[in-house]
Chain A
């Protein structure tokens, strides 16, 4: 065995998975996991832990794996993460734990994500649940949104003895884990539903179909429904569009709509009533994880798919693994390309998109080199579908209906990074609702901090 390399992980072959919605990565088996764990140097000062937004004791659980004590490994992870099977699959490990791994200096870092996933899957398949030791303290906390931030905050508060109710706007809990991330990356029934059940087993109640800001306000939750504190983890749900001509044509969708139809509403499953537009030639505009998800979904619905992104490959914000998988599956990358107009036929349907070529100039505020239009480089792409994956911003529904809750000019709720405290007493916030669209694990980190913040507030109240 080459100690400088990760133990390879089994995946569905690209040509097979391009035609199904089954999970792409098949994960390690026990032997492979123990072998990979054996590469860990068990550093005295583990930088990986510092790279993890929820500070999982990574060398601790890997040591247990090495010894073959998988259940113990799982319980170590569970102390800090309510959603290990999710995180093992969707965290950008290369820029977090694995990015800090000493093994990675000379060779490949330890496959921490894959090991986390293995431990979580192993435990779930054997019905092993996180240990709980909660005694009710008689205080009630409302959590708004059942995505990664809300679930983490709720789970941590429940362990501390609070009575927690999560309010979810959609008909199914999970937030972006169910409406955004596709089945082939994150199985819903097998993985997401089970990890949510683990949170509920800690005593957390979930009420679906409640739109806070419409069905009930935060002030009503505090004043009339007897909650002592509120955590807002409502995410960043509003899609952006480019504002170019033709954008309201039939066949132009937000990635949110497209993915929600496929993931939450299961359009890929014939037995569901959900319609989805099955284009033959699809352009997805954007370069993040959501763009990759939308592109790979369209591919599985049988389309030729182009990613249209205005910077170069090095700037793609998506996880490296997603870009790699997308390429393997046959997604075409039109990089340094930017749309300027969507071309529409007489009946109002998309027939193409005019784009310009870009080149990279000086670095901008984000530190990435700014794309600049190459004059005279216009060209047309023939298409029947355009999916806009340009990022999302927080929904103003809650901030507009809550007195004293301040937001910044992007509608992001202003909250203290350390403890989630907002400008309104008793109200905490975290995740994409505060930062704008980011990652599952950062939202979980914020949910965790806020749980501590809320606990401190209510203990001193």
Chain B
């Protein structure tokens, strides 16, 4: 059992948990992920590490309720535990492996979309601890689903916020903000890290290619084991097939085949949706899943 020592709803569908997991907390670095399984019958869910405390031996995860398994995870309270919590998986962020001298010369911008703010946060924090400032652009559909704003403010050199519907700070996409910063405010970024929905990472990568800013994206594809066994997480990078779990999760955004990744994300969508409805509605389920015919 891996005990939840702190639990907080960041908004109505995004949950933050600190989990006691000594082996993970001792060795993890920003960019890596964990696999969480709620109970015997749950799925293995990959989640990027949002923060960690080596002394308390806790790891912070943030997840959005999108299916049956994340819904079940969200039902757990402080003091409850996950049956399984394993990691750290994947390679740490390139920035963490770079010599400090080289790192200090970099002009780094992070682009975080939606729940992508969670995996961006530890990287920005880690850089600050090394004395390396970085800018952060955070985007969300609207104000109420923007997460970790206060935390990010503490660690980012400059934080730029935008919302799709204009309900907070400014209206527009993260790419609009990035373009403005480079074109109008004379920012000379030479390293971009973009983490968020696939479609956002795709368009950020297209823009940074045009702006000639090397860009790293972090993939969170479907996977089972997280150790290179299943191959479900395969992505194509520069024409080569790579496994996100062991070769990634970070890849060169200018080489990644986003269209393929977007299609692959759909594989279990309908089945996941069905399972979610079953979990949430139970016996009261009366259609809407597109499967049972109850709506007719």
| Residues of A in contact with B (beta carbons under 8 Å apart) | 169-171, 179, 208-211, 214-216, 237-239, 241, 243, 247-248, 250-251, 253-254, 256-257, 260-261, 265-266, 271-277, 347-348, 395, 397
**Nearest-Cβ distance from residue B164 to partner chain A, whole angstroms:** 26
Q: Are B260 and A248 in contact (CB-based, < 8 A)? A: yes
A250-B263, A261-B224 known; A216-B27 Cβ under 8 A:
yes
Inter-chain contacts of B84 with A (CB < 8 A): 171, 208-209
Inter-chain contacts of A254 with B (CB < 8 A): 230-232
Say yes or no: is B23 at the interface (Cβ < 8 Å to chain A): yes
**Nearest-Cβ distance from residue B179 to partner chain A, whole angstroms:** 30
Inter-chain contacts of B227 with A (CB < 8 A): 169, 211, 237, 395, 397
Q: Are B230 and A247 in contact (CB-based, < 8 A)? A: no
A211-B89, A215-B27, A248-B236 known; A170-B41 Cβ under 8 A:
no
Main secondary structure, interface of A, reads loop
**28 pairs of residues in contact across A and B, judged by CB atoms under 8 Å:** A170-B225, A171-B44, A208-B84, A209-B85, A210-B23, A214-B89, A215-B86, A215-B87, A216-B27, A237-B227, A239-B230, A243-B241, A247-B241, A248-B236, A248-B241, A248-B264, A250-B264, A250-B267, A253-B231, A254-B232, A257-B224, A257-B231, A257-B232, A273-B41, A273-B275, A273-B279, A277-B271, A348-B263
Partner of A395, one of B37, B42, B229: B229
Docked complex Cα distance between A256 and B27 (Å)? 28
Inter-chain contacts of B275 with A (CB < 8 A): 273, 275
Docked complex Cα distance between A94 and B269 (Å)? 44
Q: Are A210 and B86 in contact (CB-based, < 8 A)? A: yes
Say yes or no: is B200 at the interface (Cβ < 8 Å to chain A): no
A214-B89, A215-B87, A265-B43 known; A277-B267 Cβ under 8 A:
yes
Inter-chain contacts of B85 with A (CB < 8 A): 209
Docked complex Cα distance between A260 and B233 (Å)? 14
Q: Beyond A215-B23, A395-B246, list 15 extra A-B contacts (CB 8 Å).
A: A210-B86, A211-B86, A211-B87, A216-B23, A250-B264, A250-B266, A256-B229, A257-B232, A271-B41, A275-B268, A277-B271, A348-B260, A348-B263, A397-B227, A397-B228
Docked complex Cα distance between A250 and B89 (Å)? 24
**Nearest-Cβ distance from residue B283 to partner chain A, whole angstroms:** 15
Nearest B residue to A251, CB-CB: B267
Docked complex Cα distance between A396 and B42 (Å)? 28
Say yes or no: is B88 at the interface (Cβ < 8 Å to chain A): yes
Docked complex Cα distance between A362 and B87 (Å)? 48
Say yes or no: is B155 at the interface (Cβ < 8 Å to chain A): no
A248-B234, A254-B231, A397-B228 known; A273-B27 Cβ under 8 A:
no
Q: Are A260 and B23 in contact (CB-based, < 8 A)? A: no
| Residues of B in contact with A (beta carbons under 8 Å apart) | 23-24, 27, 37, 41-44, 68-69, 72, 83-89, 224-225, 227-232, 234, 236, 241, 246, 260, 263-264, 266-268, 271-272, 275, 279
Docked complex Cα distance between A277 and B266 (Å)? 12
Inter-chain contacts of A209 with B (CB < 8 A): 23, 84-86
**Nearest-Cβ distance from residue A386 to partner chain B, whole angstroms:** 13
Q: Are B232 and A253 in contact (CB-based, < 8 A)? A: yes
Inter-chain contacts of B260 with A (CB < 8 A): 248, 348
Q: Which are the 7 A-B pairs with shortest beta-carbon distances?
A: A348-B263, A257-B230, A209-B86, A275-B271, A254-B231, A171-B84, A275-B268
Docked complex Cα distance between A247 and B232 (Å)? 12
**Nearest-Cβ distance from residue A265 to partner chain B, whole angstroms:** 7
**Nearest-Cβ distance from residue A114 to partner chain B, whole angstroms:** 32
**Nearest-Cβ distance from residue B101 to partner chain A, whole angstroms:** 25
Inter-chain contacts of B263 with A (CB < 8 A): 250, 347-348
Docked complex Cα distance between A251 and B263 (Å)? 11
Q: Are B228 and A238 in contact (CB-based, < 8 A)? A: yes
Docked complex Cα distance between A248 and B230 (Å)? 13
Docked complex Cα distance between A272 and B42 (Å)? 6
Docked complex Cα distance between A171 and B236 (Å)? 29
**Nearest-Cβ distance from residue A436 to partner chain B, whole angstroms:** 15
**Nearest-Cβ distance from residue A314 to partner chain B, whole angstroms:** 30
Q: Are A171 and B41 in contact (CB-based, < 8 A)? A: no
A214-B88, A265-B43 known; A241-B231 Cβ under 8 A:
yes
Nearest A residue to B257, CB-CB: A248
Inter-chain contacts of B225 with A (CB < 8 A): 169-170, 179, 237, 260
Docked complex Cα distance between A301 and B174 (Å)? 44
Partner of B86, one of A171, A179, A239: A171
Q: Are B230 and A272 in contact (CB-based, < 8 A)? A: no
Docked complex Cα distance between A239 and B228 (Å)? 8
Inter-chain contacts of B236 with A (CB < 8 A): 248
A215-B23, A248-B260, A261-B224 known; A169-B241 Cβ under 8 A:
no
**Nearest-Cβ distance from residue A29 to partner chain B, whole angstroms:** 33
Docked complex Cα distance between A276 and B224 (Å)? 11
